[in-house]
Structure 1
Amino acid sequence: MDWEKTAGRLADRVTDPDSRWLAPVARVPRHQLVPRWWDMDSSGTWVLRDGASNPEAWAEAAYADRSLVTKVGRLHADHAKPDDHPEGLPTSSATLPSLVVRMLRHARLGPGLPLLDLGTGAGGLTAYASHLIGAEHVTSLDVDPYLVSAAEDRLSRMGHHPEMITADATEHVPGAYDRIVSTVGLPAGPGLRPVLSALAPGGRIATTIGRTCLIITGWKHGDGDVYGQVERDMAGFMLTRSGNDYPPPLAGLFALARSAEGDERSTGRYPVVDVAEAWELRSMLEITAPGAELGYETHDRARTAFLVHPDGSWARASAEWTDPPEVHQGGPQRLWTALERIRNRLNAEGSLPLLGARVRITPDGVCRLSRGKWRASVGDR
């Protein structure tokens, strides 16, 4: 495979001509980090792709600016048979190169500054960082032992030998780092404490908060607090996990939301929306009702959205195309009502107060956001 030319074209697409990240993207053989991956076909079935059996498709996928799913549920593509079709959520991927570069830029790497890559995945961010600042300054951590060992082996063949650690970052992060870049959505609250403890005073972190698409950056001060901002940039990363797969979704509540009449029935004000794809709405909903899970279905012109919450709350909104939806809600919270309040604010003010907000993260992992008179916190419930 003549990968150098395709890698060079990728670098031209995702960096600027004077960017210090142009050379790392152009010189890292990304295809070697993703020899096999999962694609979803038109029927919604996961299908295995094997690079060696189709080098042309391998090069096209590896050097496109796209994420490649490498693990679904408990099954990694490296261990799959051609007729395997796993079910469940993606649990690891090779993040699209442009987003890797953006996260590295947000982190403001510097010569000799120890970096923690939190969420090894396929090893792309570790590879780019090792190329730029030297692997001796890079540590890569993931909860999945196979991801760590596979990335270590593949990076070694490229001549990079960063420190590789298998650990649950929500429980313990060994070492101290001047820069931390997380390409998994970290949970605000207690699960964020170990990461904050590993950030050295004066150090900088770039991460997203789980179930939001908000990129938060900040500097750690002497009082232990991290002060920063929500960047005017967004990213959708997988949640952290503590085991080989995510806990099962709230299947019972989703089943209830599909068919129940609800304690409250009404006509919604706004068209049905796929909240998971409406990133600002989804992020604001997580701040308003932390922990809500989402579902969305279409059939011809009919659209239905589901919201469920671990406290037993649920909502279903159904409509033809952009017609006002019929809304059913149950449980202690009115989730669709909360979403409509957010949409009211967006329509009335033209934007939500998230992007550009100031952030203070306390050592207990609570993220306090503010912009103008607006105040919110995540991780204190």
Structure 2
Amino acid sequence: MDEPWESHARQLTGTVVRPESRWHEPLATVPRHLFVPRWWVRGEGGRVVRDGPGDPDAWMRAAYRDRTLVTRVGPLHADHAEPGTVVRGRTTSSSTMPSLVVTMYRYASLGEGCRTLVTTGSGYGTALLCRRIGADQVTSVDVDPYLVQAAAERLGSIGLSPHLAVADLTQPLPDQYDRIVATVSVPRIPAGWLAALRQGGRLVTTVSDTGLLIVADKTDDGGATGHVAWDRASFMSARTGDDYSPSTLDAVFDLATTADGEVSVSPLPVLDVAQAWEVWSMLTLTAPGIEHRTDTAADGTRTTWMAHPDGSWARARTPAGERTSTVHQGGPRRLYDLLEEIRWRWIEHGELPVYGAQARIAPDGAMTLSRQGWSAIL
């Protein structure tokens, strides 16, 4: 007789892959709930913890939906939170939505005997990979010792024993691999990845603060060539400690909120940049470091704020029922003008050149993206 979770796992599998997929069996047989016994959900004033064993029905519903489950906020893992705890801060670990995990692995073109390095997180993605290519071919690493310990125990409970290690992905890696698949993002490819990748090996990762998924194969010169996939993907940035450094832009956002600066009118309504992946990605490549905040008031008025470490700021507001926006900008650069240039290119051409771009990666990790006469260096 099936365990209660197995019918939920089959339903999830049916939403992610077709029956003939090689990922069908791993998805249907890995008990995701065991890797996420507790998680964080949005609540009043922040995120609140949910305990799976305390509400088995809710646990099954959450674990076997194709959704990302947040497991760590700031330095606090849900496993260690007292009931009723409310936290605020940036997400620092999660169990990625299963369909996105499978997408990353598919881009890796995994074959028999492919020794593969992956990132640990909750351990669920590692479990899927072990079921697909064999645990002896899998190395799973994370910067967080607790995540590695918990994943090892949960993987062991279902009979899987890959190699797990505490490691900072931004530093040199300990061995050689045929594939590197990172479900964390990086601002540029760490040179240590290229050194650890065997000749002809493939890396799959995403670029920090963009929706760009990079697929690249190692070349004879020690670098790699590939492309930006047409699929959109975004992950948390690789971290080196318990938490990310706090934002240094609060004072700049204060200016963006209160100062008048230069005032202009845009014929375009406010855009939630983080939801427009092409625009967001292109803007990040144009001016790395911009942070965004967007709000929709009860009456439908939309406001966006932009801030940059160089002190540049912008604020734009579109009143409810209108299409034009009033724009305020200040500092050494006009951030909203940069955004508008990209939006007009998007409107005029129907696309932006970032997706589908060729990627050339030097041995030191510097990456050049190019398409249709456009290029950017990371």
Q: Smaller-chain TM-score range? A: over 0.9
Show CA shifts across 1:142-180 (max 9, x none). Answer: 111111111111111111111111121112322111101
Match of 1:194 among 192, 195, 209: 192
Given the alignment of the two structures, is residue 220 of structure 1 paired with residue 205 of structure 2, yes or no? no
Tell me the CA shift for residue 275 of structure 1: 0.9
Tell me the CA shift for residue 125 of structure 1: 1.4
CA distance in 2, matches of 1:44, 1:17: 42
Q: Is the 8 A contact 2:71 2:95 kept in 1?
A: yes
Show CA shifts across 1:45-80 (max 9, x none). Answer: 311110000001100100000000001111110000
CA 1:259–1:297 in structure 2 vs 1: closer, same or farther (change >3 Å)? same
Corresponding residue of 1:3: 5
> Percent of counterpart pairs with the same letter?
50
CA distance in 2, matches of 1:283, 1:44: 30
Show CA shifts across 1:190-217 (max 9, x none). Answer: xx22222222211001110111111110
Q: Is the 8 A contact 1:7 1:29 kept in 2?
A: yes
CA distance in 1, matches of 2:259, 2:240: 33
Q: Give the 5 Å matches for 1:180-329.
A: 180-188=180-188, 192-249=190-247, 250-262=249-261, 264-300=262-298, 301-321=300-320, 322-329=322-329
Match of 1:25 among 24, 27, 46: 27
CA 1:312–1:92 in structure 2 vs 1: closer, same or farther (change >3 Å)? same
Corresponding residue of 2:166: 166
CA distance in 2, matches of 1:171, 1:314: 34
Show CA shifts across 1:262-296 (max 9, x none). Answer: 2x221123111111121111100111001111111
CA distance in 2, matches of 1:63, 1:179: 28
CA distance in 2, matches of 1:99, 1:287: 23
CA distance in 2, matches of 1:188, 1:331: 27
Query: Which runs of 5 or more structure 1 residues have no equivalent in the other structure?
Result: none
Given residue 77 of structure 1, which amino acid in structure 2 is its aligned partner?
A
SS in structure 1 at match of 2:346: helix
Q: Is the 8 A contact 1:269 1:340 kept in 2?
A: no
CA distance in 2, matches of 1:271, 1:167: 45
Corresponding residue of 2:375: 375
CA distance in 2, matches of 1:44, 1:374: 43
CA distance in 2, matches of 1:8, 1:257: 49
Match of 2:37 among 19, 35, 38: 35
Corresponding residue of 1:16: 18
Q: Is the 8 A contact 1:221 1:227 kept in 2?
A: yes
Show CA shifts across 1:118-154 (max 9, x none). Answer: 3x11012110110111111101111111111111111
Alpha-carbon RMSD across the aligned residues, in angstroms, is 1.2
Moved more, 134-143 or 251-260: 251-260
Corresponding residue of 2:66: 65
Corresponding residue of 1:91: 92
CA distance in 2, matches of 1:298, 1:231: 32
Show CA shifts across 1:90-133 (max 9, x none). Answer: 11100000000000001111111110103x11012110110111
Corresponding residue of 2:364: 364
CA distance in 1, matches of 2:352, 2:302: 25
CA distance in 2, matches of 1:277, 1:100: 20
Tell me the CA shift for residue 44 of structure 1: 5.4
Given residue 219 of structure 1, which amino acid in structure 2 is its aligned partner?
D
Q: TM-score of the superposition, structure 2-length normalised?
A: 0.96
Q: TM-score of the superposition, structure 1-length normalised?
A: 0.95
Q: Is the 8 A contact 1:7 1:26 kept in 2?
A: yes
SS in structure 2 at match of 1:100: helix
SS in structure 2 at match of 1:246: coil
